Amino acid sequence: MITIKDLSKSYDGQKMAVDHINLDIRDGDIFGFVGLNGAGKSTTIKCLVGILEFNEGEILINGRSIKASPMECKKDLAYISDNPEIYAYMRGIDYVKFILSVYNRPYDNDRVVALAREFEIDDVLGNLVSSYSHGMKQKLVLMAAFLHEPKLLVLDEPFVGLDPKATHMLKTMMKDYAAKGNTIFFSTHVLEVAEKLCNKVAIIKNGRIVVSGTMEEITQSSSLEEFFLEVNNE
């Protein structure tokens, strides 16, 4: 599903935010991307979804280059940023309709209401997004992403701001979604979640991939948290 070859990105032409990284993620994978603050997780994700241009390398989504065919690649993915500060002047329902229109998907009110009920935001869909709490915005963005059924879900810190119930529900939804053959790529600081949820993981440090592989390979002798701290203390 995702192939990243020799990806490099520098903001100022000198310091590399992402330095020649390579990743291979298959259909049905739940891929955890972990690293310290400023390690290069968000930059990699923004390059992956076509927000940032990159200096070197190639990113293929479903065999298509994000540089050469951005529109086709973007049709297959949904990106959820770490900051759910979406259009404050829209009502929740307007945002949902907007996303469905952008992805050329039909609006099905029953489905919208059912999913909103699962996320427990069905009673506020008619309110302005500006009146939502951080967690409610996060739920709305997640709900809209699931509605247009992308083959690839890219999430930057998806559990930040969610209440325990919503976190549990999201984890379940992610598992079910991947079980259908879709791919999930997400960054997180919550290593316990990554360990339980992901079948593959990569640790990034100073823009470089330090280790990448299946969860079993990485956690053979220790937990992901211990391994992560060991890697970052070196």
Partner 1 sequence: MNKFFLLTKAFFLAGFSVNRRRNSQKPVFQQLGIFALIFLAASSFYNFMFFFGSMLGPSSEEGGVFGVSGDKETVIYVLSMAAFIAFAGTFSLMQNTLFGGRDFEFLQSLPLKTSTVIAAKITAVMLFVIGEDLLIFVPTALCYLIKTGDGIGALISLVAVFFVSFIPVLISCLLGTLVVLITRHLKNQNIFQVIVYGLYFLLIIALSFAMRAKGAASSAISNVLPHIKLFAGALRSNDPVQLLLFIGVNLGAFALVVLFVSLLYKPINSIKQKAGDGRYRVSRKANASVSSALFRKDMMMIFSKPGLLINSVMGPVLFTIMGIFVQLIPTASEDPEPARSFSVIALVPLFAFMLNSMTNAAAASISLEGKNFELLLSYPLSPANVIRSKIISALLLPSGISLIGSIAVTVIAFLKQNVDAYSIPLIITVLLAPQLSLVYTTIVSVLCNLRWPKIYYEADIQVVKNSKSVLFATLLCMLPSLTIGVVVFILCLLAPIAGLIAAVVIYGVMITVASVILRKKGNRLYIGVVSR
Cα–Cα dist 101/148, whole Å: 10
Residue 160 in the binding site for partner 1 (CB under 8 A)? no
112: DSSP letter: H
Closest separation in Å from C-beta 10 to partner 1: 11
Indicate which single residue of 18, 93, 204, 218 sits in contact with partner 1 (rule: CB under 8 A).
Answer: 93
Closest alpha carbon to 82 in 49, 113, 125 = 49
- Map residues 31-50 to x or -, x wherever contact with partner 1 holds by CB under 8 A: ---------------x--xx
Residue 193 in the binding site for partner 1 (CB under 8 A)? no
Indicate which single residue of 20, 75, 205, 208 sits in contact with partner 1 (rule: CB under 8 A).
Answer: 75
Indicate which single residue of 86, 170, 198, 203 sits in contact with partner 1 (rule: CB under 8 A).
Answer: 86
Which CB atom, from 137 or from 200, has the smaller least distance to partner 1? 137
CB 61 within 8 A of CB 232: no
CB 47 within 8 A of CB 19: no
CB 187 within 8 A of CB 158: no
CB 33 within 8 A of CB 44: yes
Closest separation in Å from C-beta 146 to partner 1: 16
Indicate which single residue of 124, 194, 197, 209 sits in contact with partner 1 (rule: CB under 8 A).
Answer: 124
Residue 53 in the binding site for partner 1 (CB under 8 A)? yes
Cα–Cα dist 205/166, whole Å: 30
Cα–Cα dist 61/26, whole Å: 10
Instruction: List interacting residues with partner 1 (CB under 8 A).
Output: 11, 46, 49-53, 71-72, 74-75, 77, 79, 81, 83, 85-91, 93-94, 97-98, 100-104, 106-107, 109, 123-128, 130-131
